[in-house]
Amino acid sequence: MPQRTLIFTITVIFAALFVVVICITITHSSSEIHSTSITGIDKPIGVWGPFSNDGHNLEQLSGINQSIAISDIIAQGFDEYYLAMGNFENPKQIDSTESLLQSAENLDQGLKIIIILVPPSEGGPNGNYDWEGWIEYFNSLEERHPNSFEGFTIDDFNWISTRNDTKFEYNIDFMEYSDLIDALKHKREDVKFFPTVYFEGKRIDVVMNEYLNYVDGIIAVSGCYYNVSALEPQLHLFGEFFDNKPMKYIVYPTITHNYTRQQYSPPSDRLVTSTLSIASQLVDGIIVWHKIDSPVIQEYLKNIDNNRAYLSKMNRMKEIQIEDELAAGASANKILFNSTETEKNCLEWYEKYLHAYDYWLNLDSDEKEDDSLKEKLLSLVD
C-alpha cells in the first residue's frame, strides 16, 4: 500500500474513533452533569453592553431616556448590565458611570451594574491598571450605590495579547506582575469580582490556585463558540476547577470581530438556542453579548418562566445541533484539508476537554474526592 494511502487510511480511522468517543462522552455527560428532565430555566440574565444595534450604551443616555431604557431592559427580563470603564480618574467616565448607577438606584427595579475592566491586550500600554485605585473606587461606589452597584469583572483574564506594545503575552502574567492580588485583599466583601475566564485560555492553574480565594465566582467564556459539542464537559470541569463557585456564561447571539475577520457567517439561531439550552441547565447566570434584540434571545426571555413546550424545543434543537457537529467532524478530509486554523485549534481544545471529562466519568466516588484530582484534570486540559 502506498505510504500516502496508508497515512490517509489511518487518519480516517482515527477521526472516526474520535467521533465515537465524542458521542459516548456527550451521551454520558447528559445524564451525569444534569438531569435531562424539563425544568424551569429562570436565573439571572445579564447584558454585556452595548445593548443596541447602533452601539449605544445605557451609560451614554441621560435623564428620562436613560430611565426609560433601564425600565425597558428590566421589563424584557434582564437583571444585570455590564459596562466598560477604562479609567476611574477620567471625569467624563466617572460622570457617565455614576449617573447610570444613580438612575438605577432611583428606579429601584433590581438592575445590577457590573463594571468591565480591560487588560493590556485590549487597553494597551496607556490603560489604567492601578488596581489599588480601582478597588478603592469600587468600595466607594458600593457605599454610595448599594442597590445598583454589584461589582466588576476583568475581561480576557487568561487570554493572550497579540499586541506588540505590551510587555506580557498572557494577561494573567500581567495580573501577577501588577500585584492584582494585593489590591483584591482590600476589596469590600459586598463588591463582587467575577473574572472572565476562557476555556481555551492559558494559565488556568494560576487562576485556580492563586485567585480562587479572592473571586466571588467566574464568568466562563468560549473562544470556540461555533461548536457546542463539548460545552457540557467544559462547564462541568470549570465547576471542578473553581470549587463550584457561582458561574455565569457568555452567549454570543451575534458574531465577534475575530470570526468576522475570518469571514464567518453570524451564529445560527439553532446554535444560539443550543448554547442557551446547555448553559441554562448548568450555570448560575447567563450573559448576552450585545444583541439583546435577537429574536432567539427575545424568545428565550419570554419563556424562562417554565414554558415546557419551549424547553422541549430547546432540547430538540440542541440534540440536532450536536448530531450535525459530530457528523461534520467525522469527515477526515474536512478536518485535515479544508479546516481553518481556528477550527483545527478548536478541535484540539474539544478533544482535551472531552478526554478530561471522560477520565472524570470513569472515577469512583472516592477518587472524585481526592485532593489531587483538580490538578490531574487540569493537566489534561491546560
Give 94's contacts (C-beta < 8 A, 6+ positions apart): 88
Mean pLDDT score, 98-125: 92
- Residue 214 has a pLDDT of 96
Distance of CA 181 to the CA centre of its chain: 22
More confident residue, 310 or 40: 310
More confident residue, 21 or 140: 140
pLDDT > 80? residue 305: no
Segment 6-32, tens digit of pLDDT? 333 334 333 444 444 444 444 454 444
- Residue 151 has a pLDDT of 98
Q: Are 191 and 142 within 8 A, CB to CB?
A: yes
Mean pLDDT score, 298-318: 90
CATH class of the domain at 40-381: alpha beta
Percent of the chain exceeding pLDDT 70 equals 85
> Among the ranges 10-24, 29-43, 324-338, which has the highest mean pLDDT value?
324-338
More confident residue, 362 or 166: 362
**How far apart, in whole angstroms, are the C-alpha atoms of residue 178 and residue 131?**
8
- Residue 41 has a pLDDT of 61
Can you give the pTM of this predicted structure?
Answer: 0.88
Average pLDDT, the chain: 86
Segment 216-247, tens digit of pLDDT? 999 999 999 999 999 999 999 999 999 999 99
pLDDT > 60? residue 280: yes
- Where in the chain are the domains? 40-381
